[in-house]
Structure formats: C-alpha cells, structure tokens
Structure 1
Amino acid sequence: MTPKRDPLKIASGFADALKGAFGNELQSVLLVGSAVRGDFIPGKSDINTLVILTPDGMDWLEKAYPVLRTWQRKGLAVPHFMMPDAVTNALDSYPLEFLDFKTFHKVIVGPDIMAEVDIPAKPLRLQIERELRGKLFLFRQVFASEAGHSKQLRIVLTRSVSVFTPVFQGILELGKQTIPVDRHDLFREAAAFAGFSERVFLQLLDIRDGKGSKNLKVVFKDLIKEIGPIVQWIDGFDAK
C-alpha cells in the first residue's frame, strides 16, 4: 500500500532542496492551494507551492530542474516562480490569483510575502466579470456541441468548481466579507451576498464528489442560466 503523502512534509523537503540549489537567491517558499484549504485528497490533489527568487536566482532557474524531477514524483506540482516585485506589480493583473494565495497559504521558508498584500478592488471586479463572461461563452459552446454526451458534461461541470471557487472568493472580498474555508459555505455565502441562487453551484460540488444529479443536461442548463444574473450583478457593482 502506498503511504499517504503529507503535503507539509513534502513542501518542507522541497524547500530544503531548493535552498541547497539556490542558497540566498531563494527568498520564500509558501504552500498554497488545497493542502492549506483543507480539502487535499491524497493521490488526486497536487501539492502547490509559490517560490520567490531574487532576480539573480531567476536568471539561473534551471537549477530547479533536478530538484523538481525528484519532488514531482512525490506529488509536487511545478511551482509558481516569482520575483519579489511581482507580488506588488502583478496585483492589478491577477487579483483573483493573489487573493487565493493571500487567503490560503502557509509559510515554509522565508518571510510571509502575502502578509501585507492588499487586493485592489477595481481590477478584482474587472477580472471577476471577465472570468464569468468568458465561462458563459465557453459553457454555451460546450453545451451546444456536447449536450448528448454525459461524460463530457460531467468533466466540464466537475472542473468548473475550480473556476467558481476563486470567483466567489473575489465576490466576498469585494464586499469585505470573510472568506470561508469550506467550499459549500463559500458558495452559499457568495450567493447570499450577491443575491443569486446557490442551488446549482452546490450541485457542482456534489457532482465533483461523485454524488450529484444523474440529469447532467438539466444541471448544465441551470448553470448557464444562473451565470447571467451574476454577470449583471458584478457589472453594476461599485468597486471603490
């Protein structure tokens, strides 16, 4: 029997190996994603990290290659590599991603670079709208071409959980609301705050967990229908 992988131990071992490769060029390593949120599934979930290197370290990024070859076999995903200035300079381009890092992270090595991050409201609102409109276009295309293929509908519905999770976190952040750890609570509270129905989004979580509706066509149609009011809400939101 394969032993269960401990994300914290693996991230710590990876950080030590990176320190050996980069020395002082390595500034911080953070564990992020499902391992911090608490819904990590051994054997299925990736172990995600954020690695901060100095500019000199980034110039020699190939030093990470032999380290990654070893630790990817233990379930580690290829990290997000950044330089220190990216944390502030890229906030207005990727506020949803940085909100997720800020909300769910654990410092493995170095200073907590997310401690002072302030998510800008206007870029956040714009990215939420862009994500929702883009997925609405995509879901319509998928439904038109795959409505008769339950397997494909299930795959798209399952993957959509990772789309709506950061979007709903962003909606609560805009309202200066607390972001829950549990996705069921997150989906419910975002729905209550923005005034849309939670039902179909909770169905997505059931489908992801293998206990959802058998009538995936109905769920898909309901999902497409429900995204429209959220787009209208976010379009009219006054992000100050």
Structure 2
Amino acid sequence: MAQTGKGPGGKLSGGRSTLSLDDLVSQLKAVHGASLTAVVLYGSAATNEHVEGLSDVNVMVLVESIPFATMQALAPTMRAWQEAGNPPALELTVAEWRASADIFPIEYADILERHRVLHGALPVEGLVVRRRDLRLQVEQEAMGKLLRLRRGVMVAGSDVARQQDLLRASLSSLLVIFRAIMRLGGEVPPRDADAVIDAVAARTGFDATPYHQVLALKRGTAVETRDTSALLESYVTGMASLVAWLDGYTPPESVPELLSPVSR
C-alpha cells in the first residue's frame, strides 16, 4: 500500500489552512491514542490532480472505537480544520470500514485507488467492491448530480459568478462518478482528469468539450462572460445524456464481479 508522504512542510490545505497535515495527524494521535489505526489522505489531494487553493483536502480517520467524549474532545481540531476551508475529516471504526464497501462502493473504489497513508496502515485484507453494488450507486449518484445541477442553475439564473461557482464546485464529484463508470467496464481509471473525461465521453456518447473547459476553469483559466451560460447549458445537457445511458447500461459479463484493492 501507499506509505506516508507529504508535500513541502507537510502542508496540503489548498492554501487556506494554517493547520498542516502533520499538525492534524499529531492532534488526532493525541486525542485517540492507541485507538488510532490509520489516517489517510484520499482524492485529488493524494494525486497530481490537486489544484492549489481550489481542491478539497479529504482525510479519513480509522479508529478502534469512537466514544462520545472523544468526539467532543476533537472539536477544537475539527473546527480549526473546517474553518480553514477543508472538509471535516471522515471518522469510522475499523469494523465500520470493513463492513461498508457494499453501501459506499464508489467511495471505497476511489479511496482504494487514490490514497496516501499519513499514519498507521489502511486495513484492506479481504476488502472488495462488488460490481453490482457499484452499478446501482453510480446510477443513483449520477441522477442525484443531475438534479442538483438543475437546482443550481435555477438558483444561479443569469448571474455569471454564480454559474461559474456552480461549475467549479460540481466537477470533483462528477469526476468520481466518471471513474466509477470506467471501473464498471473493467478499466482502471487514469490519474489524469482530462483522460478520464475523454474515456467516459467515448464510452457513453456525450460531448467531452464542456467538461474539459470546466476543468480548465477550475485550474484558473478564465471563461468569457458571454460564454458561461452556453458552457453551463452544454455541461448539464451532457449529464442528462449520461444519466439516460446509465439507465440502460449493463456491465459486460466478461468483467470480473469483484474489484479488489489496488496498491499505489
């Protein structure tokens, strides 16, 4: 499995936090003590897809138990981490981690392929993601994403700043869905986000162009004001096309039923 590693100074906070990953791990160790099994960085921050100042820094914490008093004791650390612009850390017991791959197959598949262990060891022995579970969640998440995008469009109206915020904010979770679609077809998703977009567009038939443009927007490339509405419209249209494709999709029988952990 991946081993401990950090960026310069151990900091990976998207430029927003004064609390480094080293500090976070130290405080988690102090509060959890011997119960702390693993601290894992996952998602784009664990790969070269991280966009400084924009990408989330996702951390999962595995422990033997989570007493109520321990959760309360973590409040100063978690508030500092969240108020700095980072998502709250995800805390699970080791038993919960081992038992939940069937209900969170997208998340598990993504964590197993894209993670960096900051402390301890990630328990993966015997852990598998069943393709039938993944198939169901992919369609559910894609439909939910489409509904949230439509709601976002209605809230944003013709406000360009709101439209661009919606596009930037939506892409990371959409790329998680795209990677899951590739896994359904028996493929290991590439690390490069543009390559993921191209692969899924070729498989499902939607136009990849707006998704590349939104990725560039998230990386800091400006979009002309007059072009934003058209970009958002084509982005949402592509999602509707993807949802329709998923509704009729059956993974090929030649693809193995189980997805096992992948070492990185």
For Structure 1 versus Structure 2, the TM-score category normalised by the shorter chain is: 0.7 to 0.9
Root-mean-square deviation (CA, aligned residues, Å) is: 2.8
| CA separation of 1:10 and 1:76: change in aligned 2, threshold 3 A | farther
The one of 11, 25, 39 equivalent to 1:29 is 39
Aligned residue runs from structure 1 range 83-232, under 5 A: 83-114=93-124, 116-144=126-154, 146-214=156-224, 215-232=227-244
Give the TM-score of the pair, scaled to structure 2: 0.77
Does the aligned pair in 1 maintain the 2:49–2:193 contact within 8 Å?
A: no
| Secondary structure of the corresponding residue to residue 82 of structure 1 | strand
Give the TM-score of the pair, scaled to structure 1: 0.84
Structure with greater helix percent: 1
**Identity across matched positions, percent:** 24
| CA separation of 1:142 and 1:26: change in aligned 2, threshold 3 A | closer
Instruction: Give the stretch that moved more between structures: 159-168 or 204-213.
Output: 204-213
Aligned residue runs from structure 1 range 50-69, under 5 A: 50-55=60-65, 60-68=70-78
Does the aligned pair in 1 maintain the 2:10–2:22 contact within 8 Å?
A: no
Aligned residue pairs, count = 238
Instruction: Give the stretch that moved more between structures: 114-123 or 22-31.
Output: 114-123
Stretches of structure 1 that go unaligned for 5 or more consecutive residues are none
Distance 1:58 1:31 in 2: 24
Deviations 1:75-124 (A, max 9, x none): 76431000112223222222222222111111122222246532221222
Matched, 1:82 2:92: yes
The one of 6, 11, 28 equivalent to 2:11 is 6
Matched, 1:16 2:21: no
| CA separation of 1:133 and 1:28: change in aligned 2, threshold 3 A | same
| Secondary structure of the corresponding residue to residue 61 of structure 2 | strand
